[in-house]
Amino acid sequence: MMTRERNLRDSLLNTLESLLADEFDRFKHRLSYIDYDGRENIPRCQLEEANTRFKLVDLLCTFYCEDGAVNVAICVLTQINRRDAAAKLTEKALGPSQTPGTSAEDYRVKYRKHIQKKYRLIKDRNARLGDNVNLNSRYTKLIIVNKYRHEKEREHEIMAVGWRHAEIMSEQAHSSITIDTLFKPDEDGQTPQIVVLLGAAGIGKTMTARKIMLDWAAGRLSGV
């Protein structure tokens, strides 16, 4: 096998190995009906037999040849919303000089713009039919505490009245964090990979999640 063909196979294998199990399944499923250059698709029975990354690479290269396999993979990765992997595979296979506008950074910029467009406006139940409002103008800042509180603590907060309730709210306000520091590295320098929002129904978790996505796309979050 020639060096270039071997390199393409290696790049393809590395890309498939970066996929999670469900992403790998969706990748295979897309292969069964993708429209590539008017060619026939790989039969489902053959895709089912290719139950490992190695086998699928061999199947793709046998069916489409190495160059075609890479092009098909890039197409499918884009369709399953793994544009980052598609960009990396493109750069490895063709080189950054041959792929203007398709680098990982280019895809990142495009994705941020897509997120801003998707989450910038929200439906307003009090507005006229079809009218939307800017999320930033309607978002209500919540008190976010970055530690889990036991049930007893939450019960005391709910039952508290008068000055005690005001005191609790003041304590939480001083120990709270903001959206822009939600992903800030901790004392060990580790950036949170997963953030779970907990709170009562209707308190604004969904709106906060949308606000986080919008602020991330605008580059206002620390650490990400």
Give the count of beta carbons closer than 10 Å to the beta carbon of residue 66. Answer: 22
pLDDT, position 110: 81
- The answer to whether residue 170 is domain-embedded is yes
Of 84, 114, 144, which closes a domain? 114
Residue positions counted in the chain = 224
Who's near 58: CB < 8 A, 6+ residues apart? 50
- The answer to whether residue 40 is domain-embedded is yes
Q: Are residues 109 and 125 in the same domain?
A: no
Give the count of beta carbons closer than 10 Å to the beta carbon of residue 77. Answer: 25
Residues 159-166, mean pLDDT to the nearest whole number? 57
pTM of the model: 0.46
pLDDT, position 101: 54
Please give the residue range of the domain that contains residue 9.
3-114
Q: Are residues 35 and 64 in the same domain?
A: yes
Instruction: List, in sequence order, the alpha helices (H) in 160-217.
Output: 162-175, 205-217
pLDDT, position 170: 64
Of 65, 90, 114, which closes a domain? 114
Q: Are residues 132 and 82 in the same domain?
A: no
Residues 177-200, mean pLDDT to the nearest whole number? 80
CB distance 168 to 160 below 8 Å: yes
Q: Are residues 7 and 75 in the same domain?
A: yes
Q: Are residues 136 and 160 in the same domain?
A: yes
Residues 185-197, mean pLDDT to the nearest whole number? 81
Q: Which two tokens stand for residue 38?
A: 């008017």
- The answer to whether residue 222 is domain-embedded is no
Q: Are residues 19 and 84 in the same domain?
A: yes
Give burial (CB, 10 Å; 0-12/13-18/19+) of 151. Answer: exposed
CB distance 183 to 191 below 8 Å: yes
Element (H, E) at 51: none
Q: Are residues 102 and 189 in the same domain?
A: no
- The answer to whether residue 224 is domain-embedded is no
Q: Are residues 109 and 17 in the same domain?
A: yes
pLDDT, position 98: 47
Q: Are residues 53 and 77 in the same domain?
A: yes
Question: How many domains is the chain partitioned into structurally?
Answer: 2
Q: Are residues 66 and 107 in the same domain?
A: yes
Q: pLDDT category, 97, cuts 50, 70, 90?
A: very low
Give the domain CATH number at 62.
Answer: 1.10.533.10
Of 65, 97, 114, which closes a domain? 114
Q: Are residues 97 and 188 in the same domain?
A: no
Q: Are residues 24 and 110 in the same domain?
A: yes
pLDDT, position 129: 67
CB distance 29 to 41 below 8 Å: no
